[in-house]
Amino acid sequence: MSRFSRTVARNSAFGMAAHVAIKVVSFLFTVLVIRQLGAEVYGQYAAVLAFGAVFVFFADLGLSAYTVREVARLRDRPDGKQEIERLFGSVLGLRFLLSLGAAAAIITTAWLTGRPPEMIVGVALGTIGLIMYSVQGAAESVLAGHERLDIAAGAQVVHQVTFVLLGALALILATGYYGLIFANLVGILLMTVLCWQGIRKLGVQPSLPTPGWWPALLRASIPFGVIGFTLGLSYKFDTILLNIHQGDVVTGYYNSAYNLIFSVLVISNVVNTALYPSLSRQSVTRPETLPAIHERMLRYLLMIALPIAVGGWALAPSIVEFLYGADYSAAALPLSILIWVVPLMFVTEFLGYVIVVSGAERRVAWAITISTTVNVSLNALLIPVYGLLAASILTVLTEGILAAQYLWVLREKLGHINWNLALLRPLAAASAMGMVVFLLRDLYLPLNVLIGAVIYSSLLLLFGVIGKPEFELVQGMRRQQAG
């Protein structure tokens, strides 16, 4: 395997293994939380998290993504270490100040929108984690720029395990969602310490902040910040509006379905996060290899996402009842709609990185701004009337608008892609699988899913979507891990 492939294999393998492990545990724990709290209390808890997610942009302003790219590019320069330490110190100081301002904005907004006092207290407690994230996020960005995502993944495992263990204790003691917030804060603290130790092992020490450099940093990172803010707004604005106009119960139904979507998206996120620093470096050292990488990654992402979307749509009522119980049956409708955003998000995340690596992050910012403007405007207009249905449909619609813009921007770079192999054949295989699992929808859900997986895998082989190159890739990754 090439050095690029070995690096991505290491980061993807460590990241995927870590994320799969913690996601399985945290997913099961989230199911327990949703069942234990009930739709009303869980809806309020989801709204607390949504307030923080919307305003987290102000604590970062795109500095994380910018730092990853710059560290990856600086590493091979003669004075790279000194430049990285200077960048690290300035980003660290700036992010800390920004997090304080963001915390104040979050609490003020919760108060101005008339949220209940107990919810405002929850929002305020959550901002403590935002401040800790300013340190952890700066350290993780430097680790990512050095292509050491395995260290960051290990820290995330500790965070999630801590949250699950202390959160379970909070549920046993019936502390409500306040106990969950405290459990999360302890996890963030431990994750921050581990990321900082990882930085020290790399021999990187942050220089003293240079305030005079902050304006230039902000100008360079703003496109990344716009991307982060508009994405956060697009993903969480509907939850805030549902909570304001439709109440805690409806918010709980919607977010119990949305939670399943984001659990699936970890697959795409791990792969793309591993690819980003490697692609940034490859774009400088070996740009001629990028087209083949683009084609293969799009095929693999769609190959994974399409059966999830088709199967999730066919089995939405069964999935909701199996995981959450009959009391959450109203969540089946949003799930059957939201699940179609999975292949779109898999593709848009990857294409967004492709554009950013090429240095055209402003085009990504504009594209996301347009799709988010549509999302926010239509949500504000339709959610007060149509509630869950509007929120679900608009989520898929706006992600589709974003995908269309990315494909247009990259039309020349992606012109060589064989869409028959990358899209049409996997879609045909997923559709055939979907028909079978739908007909067997009364079967025990895990058994039905297993049957669907066997059918889909067999059809991929039959249609030539996967073959010898994929088996060789898996063998190469095993050799990499063994070595």
At which residue do the structure tokens 């192999």 appear? 421
pLDDT, one tens digit for every residue, the chain (483 residues) = 345 444 444 444 444 555 566 667 777 888 888 888 888 888 888 887 777 776 777 787 778 878 888 888 887 777 778 888 888 889 889 999 999 988 888 888 888 878 888 888 888 888 898 889 888 888 888 888 887 777 887 888 888 889 889 988 988 888 888 888 999 999 999 999 999 998 888 888 888 888 888 888 888 887 777 777 777 777 778 888 888 888 888 888 998 898 888 888 877 777 776 666 666 665 556 666 667 777 788 888 899 999 999 999 999 999 999 999 888 899 999 999 999 999 999 999 888 888 877 777 778 878 888 988 899 899 999 999 998 999 999 999 999 999 999 999 888 888 788 888 889 999 999 999 999 999 999 999 999 999 999 999 999 999 888 766 655 555 544 454 444
Say what the pLDDT of residue 445 is.
94
Candidates 230, 235, 237, 241; CA nearest to 372 is: 230
Say what the pLDDT of residue 443 is.
93
Pull the structure tokens for residue 273: 């996060």
Say what the pLDDT of residue 238 is.
87
CA dist 39 and 31 (Å) reads: 12
C-alpha of 376 from chain center: 20
| Contact by Cβ (8 Å): 255, 91 | no
CA dist 148 and 278 (Å) reads: 11
Say what the pLDDT of residue 106 is.
85
CA dist 190 and 52 (Å) reads: 20
Angle between helices 3-55 and 149-172 (to 10 degrees): 40
Candidates 63, 4, 73; CA nearest to 359 is: 73
Ordered by start, the domain boundaries in the chain are 3-417
CA dist 173 and 289 (Å) reads: 55
C-alpha of 169 from chain center: 27
Pull the structure tokens for residue 427: 């879609």
Say what the pLDDT of residue 230 is.
74
Candidates 263, 280, 233; CA nearest to 65 is: 280
Say what the pLDDT of residue 192 is.
92
| Contact by Cβ (8 Å): 26, 164 | yes
| Contact by Cβ (8 Å): 65, 368 | no
